[in-house]
Structure 1
């Protein structure tokens, strides 16, 4: 297929770009190159004849129309989004403009393209979203595709809004869509403002390892390369109009996760004292969801997909990658807001 991938210079998007090109798909990477984007993320495929890059903003309808007309994609994978909860607390407007209005622009550009092409049955618009749209869970239970939406942060509310637009464009206009909601991703090329890279890099620098609140907030952790595999599978074989929850089947509390990273670093890069001694509990962020957990039954039973990497295996790979790729992460530390405590409003 010829796939237009938005946000392809970001963390998850670049994993999809790398995997899609390796599987023989032609990829057009559309990215605005905001603070979290990095073209080094796609360097392994940048010289491939199957790869093209377009710097454009999904908030610019005219740029989108020109790119659709020039490349004539067979499918769209829409990953471009503002995604950091703490930043959404400090500056929600950008999240609404990008995640809601940007998705609206993408849907309209895709619909115009689809209509001009004679509404081909093979066209797909795959919208990639998050489990955070469902809100928070108690000690038990899991999110299913039928769980009511109840977002609790400006970020999750903006993603919920974009999900609803995608569904509406399918029901109202017939646009052939599939939609996925994933759990927390981690792995190589993870921008160093998120929990796992913060812990790894702070530990290497001998800095405090910040853990919000009591550290008992629980997330389901999904290795990013497993996620990319699932996304391409849904694009190719998912049922039109259907949503699929993608989880890692690896629930851990934040404190458990941090301690596991410390144990790995103690083995691979031992310091003068155990890295866990650097753990520092800090004031919790507003509206911090207690627990996310995904029921992956639908994608497992309908498409035969399950994650291949346990959280222990994935964290080991991730730590090793950061130890071996300082030339990638070191320049990132100077980018806007990295290393600062955000989202305290």
Structure 2
């Protein structure tokens, strides 16, 4: 069920990172809403991958390019002349950032600067949403959820690169797109910080859900690095819904939305890694199991929670899938993929089911 008024019909949307996990889900949803989408990204990062399985290239314009190449990125953006830009291209993995810190900073920091500089010289853009991460905060290992006003930081290259991306975005907003002068420059710029996103179609390396699914499918016991670490888990459609709602508000030109927003789960859905693994193993069945990895591993935060009160108050957004449902939808997706089904149809089915929840939520608020 769609909203009664669909503001996306006919809008031109430039989406970096459309071949990734979250980017593929967003590309399909935007196309479903009637937007004209150009994706700009490297080749899909894994095999298999959601982009290929769901045939995303059949419903959007697919361009391969590197955000580290400013000239190529700017040329693509200018030629397409979009109304809205979603910036999701990034090096998204903590452990890979230890192996390739320079590549991580080049993609996540300079890639963001390249994108925003291209936007600055493109006359048609009205709204920009740059997606970072909940890990951009200076993690002090406390039990309280982080708010948008808390200090940025990062122990590892990935987290710090995303904090830098937030600072770059804030600097471009202050210098070139100040909210109080939007009638002059016509560009609204916001950043979005989501929790640990799960869902069908993620085969990334060194991520909990993909590691578990690979092990379960192979009939192998899965080794878990930090079973006691607490993370804010949420299904991919919940933050994507928040991104869409925020972009819609940016398009109105209302200055208060040009800022940072957290999109996180309900407090009770911040679970330890081991609890997630237990539920998935039990749901998968067939003897699925896991054990603690005894090897030495790079530092990772023990506790991370984020506070999405601002998104609730200012956007009217809230998570619609609790963690139990999110895990069920995730398992259902992978099982359907294992059966070699039409995964574009299956992905659309989950989006349609989520849209029905949006409709019910809207109706309950009237």
Q: TM-score range by the shorter chain?
A: 0.7 to 0.9
Partner residue, 1:78: 87
CA distance in 1: counterparts of 2:303 and 2:276, whole angstroms: 14
Residues 215-261 of structure 1: CA distance to partner in whole angstroms, max 9, x if unpaired?
11000001001121111111111544211100022100011110011
1:97 to 106, 112, 124: 106
Q: What secondary structure, in the 3-state scheme, does the structure 2 residue paired with 1:156 have?
A: helix
Q: Which residue of 1 aligns with 2:14?
A: 4
C-alpha distance in 1, partners of 2:54/2:93?
21
Farther off after superposition, 4-13 or 169-178:
169-178
The answer for the alignment partner of 1:35 in structure 2 is 45
Mapped pair 1:202 → 2:221: no
Unaligned runs of 5+ in 2: 1-10, 178-186, 251-255, 341-366
Q: Does 1:248 align with 2:265?
A: yes
Matched, 1:227 2:239: yes
CA contact (8 A) 1:127 1:180 kept: yes
> Does structure 1 conserve the Cα–Cα contact (< 8 Å) formed by 2:230 and 2:304?
yes
Alignment-derived partner of residue 57 in structure 2 = 46
- Contact 2:98–2:156 under 8 Å retained in 1: yes
CA contact (8 A) 2:50 2:202 kept: no
Compute the displacement of 1:280 (Å): 3.4
Instruction: Name the TM-score, length of structure 1 as normaliser.
Output: 0.85
Name the CA distance, whole Å, in 2 between partners of 1:311 and 1:304: 20
Out of 124, 127, 146, the residue aligned to residue 127 of structure 2 is 124
Question: Normalising to structure 2: TM-score of the pair?
Answer: 0.81
What is the rounded CA distance, in whole Å, between the counterparts of 2:157 and 2:239 in structure 1?
24
Pair 12,59 (structure 1): closer, same or farther in 2 beyond 3 Å = same
Equivalent-residue separation in structure 2 for 1:200 and 1:104 (angstroms)? 36
**Could you say what secondary structure the match of 1:155 adopts?**
helix
Residues 157-207 of structure 1 show CA distances to partners (whole Å, capped at 9, x for unaligned) of 111111110110010112531111111001011124211111122022122
Displacement, 1:139? 5.0
Distance 1:264 1:137, change over 3 A: farther
Whether the 8 Å CA contact 1:180–1:246 is kept in 2: the answer is yes
1:64-120 deviation digits (Å, cap 9, x = unpaired): 222122111011100000011111111111101111111111111110113xx5xx7
- Determine which of 27, 36, 56 is the counterpart of 1:26: 36
In structure 2, C-alpha distance between the alignment counterparts of 1:284 and 1:301, rounded to whole Å:
43
Please say if 1:14 is aligned against 2:24: yes
8 A Cα contact 1:9 1:42, kept in partner: no
Moved over 6 A (4+): none
Aligned to 1:297: 309
CA distance in 1, matches of 2:159, 2:339: 32
Structure 1 residues not aligned, in runs of 5+: 329-345
2:74 counterpart (42, 62, 65): 65
**Contact persistence 1:7–1:31 (CA under 8 A):** yes
**How many residue pairs get matched?**
311
Q: Deviations over 1:282-314 (max 9, x none)?
A: 335322101111111000011111111111111
